[in-house]
Every structure is written in structure tokens, then in C-alpha cells.
A and B are shown apart, each in its own frame.
Chain A
Amino acid sequence: MRVLINGKSHELEAAATLATAVALLPGAPAGRGVAAAVDGEVVPQREWSNTPLSEGARIELVVAVQGG
């Protein structure tokens, strides 16, 4: 299936979870200062590995940066 991670299209296996998708990103970000949302809903990190994705899912993966 195809999903959008931070606006870019990725091809994932049908059984992929949010954890699978995040692992594709450089450095496989996790831990403090990292958060993810799927289709506009925040998913806590402890639930990434049992959050299934569906075709066309929009994933936003954000990290702490300087600002404000």
C-alpha cells in the first residue's frame, strides 16, 4: 500500500504499522522530542507498533526544533 510520510509517498507492505513507517525515516526517530499523527490523530509512541496503517494514510512525524 502507499502512504504519505511527511508529504512524501512510500510503498509499504500490507501489514505495516506506524512503527514500520517511522523506521523507514533517516535515524528512525523515537524517544523524547518526537511525535506522530496519522490522519490528524496523535498516536502515542507506545502504540506505534500496534497501529495498523491503511491505504493512503497521511503520517506526520515531527521533532523538536529551535523556535519561538
Chain B
Amino acid sequence: MTGVASLRIADRELGSRLILGTGGFHNHEVLADALEAAGTELCTVALRRLDPHARGSILDVLESAGVDVLPNTAGCFTARDAILTAQLAREAFETDWIKLEVIGDDRTLLPDAVELLSAAEALVDDGFVVLPYTTDDPILARRLEDVGCSAVMPLGSPIGSGMGIRNPYNIAIIVERAGVPVILDAGVGTASDAAQAMELGCDGVLCASAISRAHDPGAMARAIRMSVEAGWLARRAGRIPRRLHAEASTPMEDMPVFDTPEA
């Protein structure tokens, strides 16, 4: 029992605030170990052209772990491609949920704000539960919420960069103004980054590379799970204000006085 409340997104309650991306795991066995260690209930998957040499289905791994599927539109550069991919995902996985990614180029993998907002609006109108991967821009986050997204998922730093949260102040502003859950997506490099996201008030963390590309993915999955829980608890516990100077924790009154020898 961790004392961490469940996470509600749209009509679903998630017992874990850690969503796992399945990209980058060397094989299905490593993924299965990480799923268990992470305690996650929701995992992203992608759609690609059939590979005749592929071995086993990722869906079997997720099913035996009891984890639900969150399809994504990874790799799409236009609203049109993202919408079609979301529609394919709805057929393939029988879910209206979509992690919407529309990127601007393949060097930064940063979201294309214009295409993203356009796709989000169309998919919401088409009945999807849209979870957009977005920049850390508070205005774009608000626009995505305004068109009916069920969560906003700002990046801490670029996908796979492991650079943590480069603009914590923007994340704090997004959290302050959001009426839907805020999930930090992308940039987590290690456990402390996930804890920081939760301390800033995020409702959850989505993490792939930090776990899948760690030297020991199972151990990192467990570490990040614990840091998400720790950060959630710390946020609610209320941190002390930062000060430039010290503030003694031991009373300064009634100190004993020691005679000093005469010089």
C-alpha cells in the first residue's frame, strides 16, 4: 500500500501513475520483466507495416501481464497521417484511446504544434479519447484542452534524450492551469526526473527509453515506479520554501555557556 491515489483519465481509473512506453526493449522477455517491476496498467504500442521476420506479438506480452494498450501515432508528420493511423489503431486494438504524436522533424522529434492541434480537434470530434504528446508550452497545452483532449502530455526534453525537465517553470504553469491530467512525456533519464515531474504537480509520467535502454531495465522500472510514488507523496506533503540562508532546526536559546581560558 503506497497511499498514492489512482489516476483518473476520461472514464478510466488507473492504479499506477506510471505509463510505460514499449519502445526500445531488446526482446519481449525484458519487456515482460519491466512491466512487472513498473507495476504499470497502461502501455503504448505502435503500428507498422507487417514484418515477415517478426517473432511473437507484443500484444501477447501485454495481455499476459494484464496491461492495457495505448496505441500511438509515433512517426507521423502530418495531421492527416496521424488521423489515419489513429483510425487504424481503433480497428486494430478496439480502443478509442490514442496517444497523439505529430512531430516536426526526425532530428528533434519535437511536436508540430499546428498539425498536432488540428489532428487533436479532428480526433476528438471523431470520438477518440486523445492524449497528445506536446511541447512544454502552456498556451498550446490549454488549446489542446480546449479542443477536448482528455489529458495533456508535455515533454520534459526531447524523446530519448534523457535530459530530464529542461523548463520546470513551464511544467508548473501547465499544471497550475490544466483542468485535465498532466502526464510528463519524454525526457526522463532516471528516477529523480520522474520524481521532479510529480513534485511539480504532474499527475503521471510516461517513460520508455529511460527504462528500456537502461543497463538493467527491470531495476530502473522499479526505481522509476518508486520515484513517481515518492514525488506524488512529496507534492502533497508540501515542501518547505527555498531560502538563501540557513534556518536552524535546533533551538538557539538556552545554549550552555562554557568558560574559555584566559589568554
List A contacts of B72 (CB < 8 A).
67-68
Q: Give the interface segment out of A11-19, A27-35, A49-57.
A: A27-35
Q: Are A40 and B59 in contact (CB under 8 A)?
A: no
Q: Are B23 and A68 in contact (CB under 8 A)?
A: yes
Does residue B247 face the partner (Cβ distance < 8 Å to A)? Answer: no
List A contacts of B99 (CB < 8 A).
68
Q: Are B44 and A67 in contact (CB under 8 A)?
A: yes
Q: A6-B49, A32-B59, A33-B57 are in contact. Are A64 and B21 (CB under 8 A)?
A: no
Does residue B24 face the partner (Cβ distance < 8 Å to A)? Answer: yes
Residue-by-residue, is A20-56 near B (CB-CB < 8 Å gives 1, otherwise 0)? 0000011101001111110010101100000000000
B63: nearest residue on chain A (CB-CB)?
A32
List A contacts of B59 (CB < 8 A).
32-33, 64
B69: nearest residue on chain A (CB-CB)?
A64
Interface residues on A, range: 20 to 34
Q: Are B47 and A65 in contact (CB under 8 A)?
A: yes
A42–B24 Cα gap in the complex (Å)? 28
Does residue B91 face the partner (Cβ distance < 8 Å to A)? Answer: yes
Q: Are B52 and A64 in contact (CB under 8 A)?
A: no
Q: Are A32 and B92 in contact (CB under 8 A)?
A: yes
Q: Are A33 and B31 in contact (CB under 8 A)?
A: no
Does residue A61 face the partner (Cβ distance < 8 Å to B)? Answer: yes
What are 6 A-B interface contacts by the 8 Å CB criterion? Answer: A40-B84, A61-B49, A65-B48, A66-B31, A66-B46, A67-B22
- Besides the contacts A26-B52, A65-B46, what 15 more A-B pairs have beta carbons closer than 8 Å? A26-B50, A32-B92, A35-B91, A62-B47, A62-B49, A62-B50, A63-B48, A63-B92, A64-B47, A65-B51, A66-B22, A67-B23, A67-B48, A68-B21, A68-B74
B residues apposed to A, CB below 8 Å: 21-25, 31, 44-52, 54, 57-59, 69-72, 74, 84, 87-94, 99, 101, 208
